[in-house]
Amino acid sequence: MKDLIVTPHGKELCNRLVQAIISRYLKDNASTDAISNRLREVCPILYNNEDALNIAAKLNLEVIVSHFTAVHYFQGAVEVCLAAAAKRDPQGLALHYYKNNEPNEDDQGLEAFMTRMSCYGYITEMLRKLLDTGSILPGNVPGVPRSPGPLPPPDPNQIPPEEASVYAEKVLQTCLKKGTSHHPGTLLMFDLLWKHYEKTQSYAAAAKILSKLAERHSTEVTLKERLEYLSRAIMCVKSGEMGSETNAAGELLHDLEEKMEVARVQLQILDALNTHGGHEVSSAVSRLNSDLLDISTLYQDFAEPYELWECQLSVLHCAGHPDQMLIETLWEHIINAETRNEGGGPINPYLAKTKIAGLSTKIKTLGRIYASSQKYFPLEYIIKKLESYSCIAKEDYCWVFNSMLSIGVSMPKILEIYNKLCLSNDPIWFKNGSPNHLLVVLANILNTFAESPSSVSYHERRSFVVTCQDAVVSYLGQLYTKPDSASAALIKELKCIQAKLERL
């Protein structure tokens, strides 16, 4: 008896006796709960909680989980399944298989992975039933606690992070594949899944989930939140170590950036409709918030029917559709919208000054977006329209070209366009009662350069001075044929400018 209790051989014999008892129960398909509790009570040194978990690999999981679920002991069901998965794959072959992107040639890893997945399957099936119960009987679903409870104590039996990664992914994917699109927790599960991928540095997978979140039809998500999802997805792709997946990551990034560009146009349309207000746009606003729409739909269903001129221009720019006539028509509408005289009749000086200030701001705002592309910012057409209004308003002669300078149009380019307009002899200036309007503007352009020659780069300044001098001679020739007092005053001003240019 002493040898049985004290010596190592005696302890080994006792351990084998315990194993034999448990094996006997398992062979008879009998419950091991009673014998396990008795063994832990009588001989805790020989049989403890860890020993009880060792038999998990041999249990009929389906029966155990069904029993635990029936009495709402969900934590116990999860723990048994996780313990069984770990025992059935003691070498961690499934984890190695998973981390190496599931190679086809790894048969042992595949077998271990499928074994683990079969164990996790009982958990996901249990979750599926809970979700079904929650959707049918919402009153039975626990509410959100009013205040957070205490943090749980650290669990020494918690599964390792690498195993938890596979398990968490399997659970979340199963819940999402079930198609619970109208369940209030679906959005949260998507959110958890992309954060899980990001935490495990699976950046491409996180980006794809975020992209799905952005494109998912839902009234729970606003358009601004969809843009945030796309922005996070782009950041995830850029943060990842691409390695051998450079091409795939590049394609994904390009696709996300295109979606982001279209989504920005959609947001612009939404903001424009919100400023309109009214019942007639409420359904359109709801639709814009519920989905990410393609560029054609945005134009045909929103920008065009609601006469959103700036949004139409944005759509054409985003789609790369440089229809010159349509673009010029849109710019005409944009300018007319800013200069429209609601009361009719002549434009009084105060109103003209106010409208010119607003129009200048509008041109600067849009110019910073489109000025780099002549296709979407037809400079000559815009300048002519603006100067035509300026001529009618009989206001500041400098605001148009100063606006162009502020958005980055060069002084030589401005002079070239104004010179071309002047030589065209368009009757619009006579019709508006100011035949010398363009010559006055040109005099101001030349004087601006003469006063500040640094506005033109040093390497082209000399040739531009010569161009300006030739232009002055040409303008003087036109004015000499007009013997009115206004022309005489302009001749005097041009001669002063000519003298300044000669000193440069």
What distance in Å separates the CA atoms of residue 173 and residue 123, rounded to the nearest whole number?
12
In terms of Cα–Cα distance, which of 220, 225, 213, 316 is closest to 267? 225
| Biggest CA pair distance of the chain | 138
pTM of the model: 0.69
Tens digit of each residue's pLDDT, the chain (504 residues): 656 655 666 667 777 776 777 667 655 555 556 766 676 666 655 555 555 555 545 567 888 888 888 888 888 888 888 888 888 888 888 888 887 777 888 888 889 888 888 888 888 888 888 877 755 444 444 444 555 556 555 554 454 545 545 555 555 555 555 544 445 556 777 888 888 888 878 888 899 999 999 999 888 899 999 999 999 999 999 887 554 456 788 889 999 999 999 999 999 999 999 988 777 789 999 999 999 999 999 999 999 999 999 999 999 999 999 999 999 999 999 999 988 865 555 555 567 778 888 999 999 999 999 998 889 999 999 999 999 988 888 778 999 999 999 999 999 999 999 999 999 988 888 888 889 999 999 999 999 999 999 999 999 999 999 999 999 999 999 999 888 888 899 999 999 999 999 998
pLDDT in the model for residue 276: 80
What distance in Å separates the CA atoms of residue 441 and residue 426, rounded to the nearest whole number?
15
Alpha helices in 371-484 (DSSP H): 379-393, 399-406, 411-423, 428-431, 437-451, 458-479
pLDDT in the model for residue 139: 47
How crowded is residue 167: how many other Cβ atoms within 10 Å of its Cβ? Answer: 21
Helix or strand run (H / E) with residue 439? helix 437-451
- Report yes or no: 428 and 385 within 8 Å, Cβ to Cβ: no
Helix or strand run (H / E) with residue 23? helix 8-27
What distance in Å separates the CA atoms of residue 424 and residue 442, rounded to the nearest whole number?
14
- Report yes or no: 305 and 284 within 8 Å, Cβ to Cβ: no
pLDDT in the model for residue 180: 47
Place of tokens 């399944």: 81
CB-based contacts of 469: which residues, under 8 Å, 6+ apart? 498, 501, 502
- At 374, phi and psi to the nearest 5? -60, -25
